[in-house]
Amino acid sequence: MSSPSLTYPPVRGAGAATPSSPDIELDIETVSSHKPSPSEPDDSHHPSSSSTGSKAREEKHTHGIFGHGHARREDAADVAVRAIADGDADPLVLHISDEDNRHVLRKIDKVLLPLTMCAYLLQYIDRSAMSYAAVFTFRKDLKLTAEDYAWLGSVYFIGYLVFEFPGMWLLQRLPISKTMGTMILGWGILVMCMAAPKNFAGMAALRTLLGVTEALITPGFVLLVSRFYKREEQPLRVGLWYSCNGAGSFVGALLSYGMGHVHVNGMRPWAWIFILNGMITTVFAVVFLCLCPESPETYTRFSETEKKIALERVRGNKSSLHNKIWKWSQFREAVCPWIDPQGWAYFIIVLCICIPNGGVANFLHLILQSYGYTAFQTILIGLPGATLQFLFPLSASYISRRWPDMRCYCMMVYMLPALVGSVIQYSTRKSGALLFGYYILTSYVATLGLCIAAPGANVTGYTKRVTVGGMVFIAYATGNIAGPHLFNANETPAYRTGMLTCVICFAAIIPMCGALRLWYMRENRRRDKVLEERGQAYDPAEGDFGDRTDMENLQFRYAL
């Protein structure tokens, strides 16, 4: 394959490029958009006016959706801006051909997709290993009551919740790839240790620590995806690794089926499930630490030309790639619903998904076993459900990639099978109908995957994106903590309280997704009107590495 080529037209101010040129300008001084408006004079080549011109441009670009703003000099901390500044002293213009773009995209996909997909697959297998162990003699050997088992499901997410915001702070301060690789290594070791406990206390301690170590994987991957991929490319990539929940369920079932036949050194078969899964994860952690890239400008497998292409690809996201300065103004914008309601909208939607998920994830195999199947039959009959759990988010992410303004509609549509499945589980005890309801119940994972991807696509400003991501995962953890306790042991096998909760939560999500789409549409129209009143126009090609939020940037448009 031929190496990518770049064409460098003359620097602006040399008389070759005009303000209306579609070229991409690497303007380090202003950290601003790549294309000035036609009405903005370019006086950068006049020495006497360079200072005032720079100041005017900077003030213009920080003039946000609220009609006021101030220059953010700390934006120079953004790593993308520093990288461009280090590579070129003068502002240059890059022409990126489709061939160059595809070449770099393939190179990114070849390393990031296998790593993120494998990590997510192993995370799900390791987190769910207890539910497979439960169909053997796990509960009997550890002398667990039904309430003890429910708490083992909850304490994982207590650790997840406690570490969420400290972990997000670490992701802003430390290298993401190395931090996540270390966490993967830690949870692999913890999973192997889960073969050792003899009682509830020991297993609860390990499950809590497992939640701590796995807390950063999803938000970390969302940040990585936003660094390497365009907004329109992100849903498919997030969907690919998120769909590995279903793949993990499938692979985990096969591994558990095999380990269930192992009787060595007097160890119970369920103990070997933990040992094998933990060993695989530990080996993978070393591979992840060695191969995972940190950001486009530091990826050693990129040539200098490819680094520039990779940076220019994501300029159109209109967001900072990485800024180590915590900005309280962005934090306030994220958590104040009267400024921007989308953070709390996703919080409530994810909470309503994860309250049912907390029960379903821990009790689904026990529910299936209650239909009258043996331990090994339960594992095998669950495989079609695992396949659907893989296909639901994958198909939703493809639709969102193919039709970018269908995301909220996808979130609504994929809740319908889950709603029908939970109604079936609640209302009938006919085995055929129950099995059908069991298979379609997990379609909600597609909506959850789109919600997890949302901060990377519809939220800009690095601190704000990290904060909204943290809110999403706090809702994720809180719902999963509460969920297992709604599946009462005295209601087995119907678990009517738990299934009624599923019906209510799933039904509530559909109108909330519709309301969120209406807000996005109204906000996009409002920005068009404001620009029109100012005599400006929306330019979808305009890029921005400045650390401005989506509410500050009039050129930002929300994906619907």
Retrieve residue 392's tokens.
């639901």
Residue 257: pLDDT above 50?
A: yes
User: Nearest-CA neighbor of 166 among 235, 212, 118?
Assistant: 212
pTM of the model: 0.72
Share of the chain above pLDDT 70, in %: 80
Lowest mean pLDDT segment, chosen from 69-83, 375-389, 409-423, 503-517? 69-83
User: Nearest-CA neighbor of 366 among 493, 470, 451, 459?
Assistant: 493
CA angle 473, 323, 81 (to 5 degrees): 140
Going by pLDDT thresholds of 50, 70 and 90, the confidence category of residue 538 is confident
Going by pLDDT thresholds of 50, 70 and 90, the confidence category of residue 321 is low
The pLDDT value recorded for residue 239 is 82
Give the tens place of pLDDT for each residue, 68-110: 333 344 444 455 545 544 544 334 445 778 888 889 999 999 9
CATH of domain 99-294+304-315+324-531: 1.20.1250.20
Going by pLDDT thresholds of 50, 70 and 90, the confidence category of residue 305 is confident
Going by pLDDT thresholds of 50, 70 and 90, the confidence category of residue 233 is confident
Residue 451: pLDDT above 50?
A: yes
The pLDDT value recorded for residue 31 is 36
Position of tokens 């990126």? Answer: 96
The pLDDT value recorded for residue 438 is 87
Tell me how far apart the alpha carbons of residues 510 and 415 are, in angstroms, rounded to a whole number. 7
- What SS3 string covers 269-332? HHHHHHHHHHHHHHHHHHHHHHHCCCCHHHCCCCCHHHHHHHHHHHHCCCCCCCCCCCCHHHHH
Which residue ranges make up each domain of the chain? 24-95, 99-294+304-315+324-531
Tell me how far apart the alpha carbons of residues 422 and 424 are, in angstroms, rounded to a whole number. 5
Q: What is the mean pLDDT of residues 416-425?
A: 95
